[in-house]
Amino acid sequence: MGTVKQALIALGGNLGTVRDTFIQARKQLDKLPDIELLDSSLLYQTSPVGVAGQPDYLNAVIRVQCCLSANRLLDILLGLERRFGRVRPAPRWSARTLDLDLLDMEGILLDTPKLILPHPRMHERLFVLRPLCDIAPEWIHPRLGLTAQSLHDALLERGEPPITEGMQW
């Protein structure tokens, strides 16, 4: 049994009944013996990035506690994506039923072909930072030394359109 760590996981999707998929994915993660759900953000509707002509996304962030390695947790997340119909590889930014991104695991710095921690683009994505601020506004990006809230606010100051209020899920 490894050391207990907290992890932040982003959820995204825009195909099928996304809200229901998120609820089921969250329940399935919480049922696993080595993972405990600690917190969930609100659910936010956002415009797609990179590819026009696809449905809006729903986005959220959850915090879990586990005694797994980052790579083992990633394997579980990828397996869950497959169970909900996610096909990889797929064209970048294509529509998907469920996307689970491991954002951070207690500040661990990783840079391998399989996994980069913290997530390499999370600080550029309002659709990640907005829900992250719901549950961990004081979280500090381990490479940049800035809080989730300050990263969020910096994107707004640069002219990113704010994300409308979220909903319960």
pLDDT digits (tens, 9 = 90+) for 83-139: 998 776 666 667 889 999 999 999 999 999 999 999 999 999 999 999 999 999 999
pLDDT of residue 151: 98
Indicate the SS3 state at residue 63: strand
Candidates 39, 75, 99, 134; catalytic one = 99
Residue 56 is a catalytic residue = no
Q: Which residues contact residue 42 at a Cβ distance below 8 angstroms, ignoring those fewer than 6 apart? A: 60, 131, 134, 165, 166, 167, 168, 169
Domain of residue 51 covers: 5-120
Q: Does residue 82 have a pLDDT over 60?
A: yes
Domains in the chain, number: 1
Mean residue pLDDT across the chain: 93
Q: Does some domain include residue 86? A: yes
Residue 86 is a catalytic residue = yes
Tokens of 111: 């840079």
Beta strands in 18-88 (DSSP E): 35-40, 44-46, 57-66
For the domain that residue 52 is a member of, what is the CATH number?
3.30.70.560
Rounded percentage of the chain residues whose pLDDT exceeds 90 = 85
Q: Does some domain include residue 101? A: yes
Q: Does residue 69 have a pLDDT over 80?
A: yes
Q: How confident is the model at residue 48 (pLDDT cuts 50, 70, 90)?
A: confident
Q: Does some domain include residue 134? A: no
Yes or no: say if 103 and 61 are a contact pair by the CB < 8 Å rule.
yes
Residue 26 is a catalytic residue = no
State pTM to two decimals.
Answer: 0.94
pLDDT of residue 85: 85
**Three-state SS annotation for the chain:** CCCCEEEEEEEEECCCCHHHHHHHHHHHHHHCCCEEEEEECCEEEECCCCCCCCCCEEEEEEEEEECCCHHHHHHHHHHHHHHCCCCCCCCCCCCCCCEEEEEEECCCCEECCCCEECCCCHHHCHHHHHHHHHHCCCCECCCCCCEHHHHHHHHHHCCCCCCCCCECC
Q: Does some domain include residue 64? A: yes
Q: Does some domain include residue 166? A: no
Candidates 63, 101, 104, 130; catalytic one = 101
pLDDT of residue 92: 67
Residue 34 is a catalytic residue = no
Candidates 26, 63, 86, 125; catalytic one = 86
Candidates 96, 104, 125, 130; catalytic one = 96
